[in-house]
Structure 1
Amino acid sequence: MDNKIRVGVVDDHPLYRDGVVFTLAAQPDIEVVGQGASAADAVRIAQDHKPDVLVLDMTMPGGGLSAIATIAQSHPSVRTLMLTVVADEDQVCTALKQGAGGYLLKGTSGPELVQTVRLISQGENYVSPNLAAKLLMRSGSGPAREEKRPDRFSGLTPREEQILSILVEGHSNKEIGNKLDLSEKTIKHHLTNILQKLQVRNRVEAALLASDRMSHRSHTAR
């Protein structure tokens, strides 16, 4: 298949790395172009192979966060996906701020890993649902946030509200389009408007904000 998604995999546990490589390489639309075991290897693969997606372990020698920051600055076209056992919301937030496109736990299924790589290669962002829930709980619902929320959402059209409600469920642009019988290009256009109106940087932040509002409404209704 032409135009395969080119992926690099960096993890200092050879057996686990081999499993990730096997899972990804088995897909007809994915090609594994490089492997490594350290932050230095990650930077080297980004420089030498320019993969579309680089799957990184958080706790590898040299540090995954350090690798993300370097790659984001030196090779911005290379998108990074953290794959780790660390379910720590502080590290999730830091990784996303450093430029990571996604954050998955190592207990994830093969199909979820494959789908996430595909989403990240398309420029989208993804965080494991259980981690997203932790971020949501951490965000809180204090008075200051409550004052801003109505203003942010009041500008959304009914269609944008509909798209946002499906986005919260973790669906890709293509899946949202299929549900609403709209083209993927149309969904991307709506999402751009949604991000601007909600004053967020990416779909992950939009989903968290929308989930926060839904959670608040649920508690208020009790």
Structure 2
Amino acid sequence: MTPIRIVVADDHPLYREGVTRSLAESGRFAVVGEASNGAEAEALVARERPDVALLDMSMPGGGIATLRRILALPQPPRCAMLTVSEEDDDVMQALRAGALGYILKGVGARDLVGILSDLAEGRSYVAPSLAMKVLAAMNAPRAKKAETPLDTLTKREEDILRRVAEGKSNKEVARDLDLQEKTVKHYMTAILQKLQARNRTEAALIAREGWPGTRKP
């Protein structure tokens, strides 16, 4: 059986090494590249043309943004997101962007091999604990088309931006919302892209203009 060629992208070296070792030892996969951020992942996929790309949702460069860029490449691989996030918005955003798989990092090595083998054959996968949420979201009536960039933000992104607009640092926002600072940075990357803002200061100004009740620092 020809091994499935895969690129693994995750910014935690120890975790990434464990995943690649498990895949290689299974005999089903040939790991043709490892990346620690979005830019490296995109470059590796463009060069190696793997069958599958396994992408960390919160790596530097943004997992979703990297997913979109990879899927825009000629002959893109089948892509799966590997994440700790169980947020409904993150799941739907990944699937709508074109991910075939949404895998939680608590998955065991044997299950991961099986999931990725199925993905290589074109089947999709969503972590069982999230499957009912996804089904409900897909069957829900479509919301009215957003009128402004602020309307495109998810509830979590809005919570974060409101605090940023109040002058809070990523660390303070993370403490307020019981998140990791790294996760807040991941959300801020998505927020800046949606608002087409160059930096957090510009995003805060957009928020204050669009949400008049937002307190200034």
Normalised to the residue count of structure 2, the TM-score between the two structures is 0.62
Gaps of 5+ in 2: 143-217
Corresponding residue of 1:174 = none
Q: 1:83 to 1:106 in 2, by over 3 A?
A: same
Corresponding residue of 1:28 = 27
Specify which structure has the higher proportion of helix. 1
Q: Name the CA distance, whole Å, in 2 between partners of 1:81 and 1:138.
A: 20
Shift of 1:75: 3.7
How many positions carry a matched residue from both structures? Answer: 142
Q: Name the CA distance, whole Å, in 2 between partners of 1:56 and 1:21.
A: 12
Corresponding residue of 1:88 = 87
Q: Name the CA distance, whole Å, in 2 between partners of 1:115 and 1:53.
A: 13
Corresponding residue of 2:113 = 114
Q: Name the CA distance, whole Å, in 1 between partners of 2:34 and 2:81.
A: 15
Shift of 1:85: 0.6
Corresponding residue of 2:133 = 134
Shift of 1:141: 7.1
Gaps of 5+ in 1: 146-222
CA offsets per residue over residues 116-174 of structure 1, 9 Å max, x none? 110110011111111112223445678xx9xxxxxxxxxxxxxxxxxxxxxxxxxxxxx
Q: Name the CA distance, whole Å, in 1 between partners of 2:102 and 2:3.
A: 22
Alignment of 1:32-51 (within 5 A): 32-51=31-50
Amino acid at match of 2:130: L
Shift of 1:47: 0.5
Q: 1:101 to 1:140 in 2, by over 3 A?
A: closer
Shift of 1:37: 0.4
1:46 touches 1:75 (CA, 8 Å); kept in 2? no
CA offsets per residue over residues 165-213 of structure 1, 9 Å max, x none? xxxxxxxxxxxxxxxxxxxxxxxxxxxxxxxxxxxxxxxxxxxxxxxxx
Q: Name the CA distance, whole Å, in 2 between partners of 1:94 and 1:65.
A: 8
Normalised to the residue count of structure 1, the TM-score between the two structures is 0.60
Amino acid at match of 2:89: D
2:66 equivalent to 1:67:
yes
Q: Name the CA distance, whole Å, in 2 between partners of 1:46 and 1:138.
A: 31
Alignment of 1:1-222 (within 5 A): 2-138=1-137
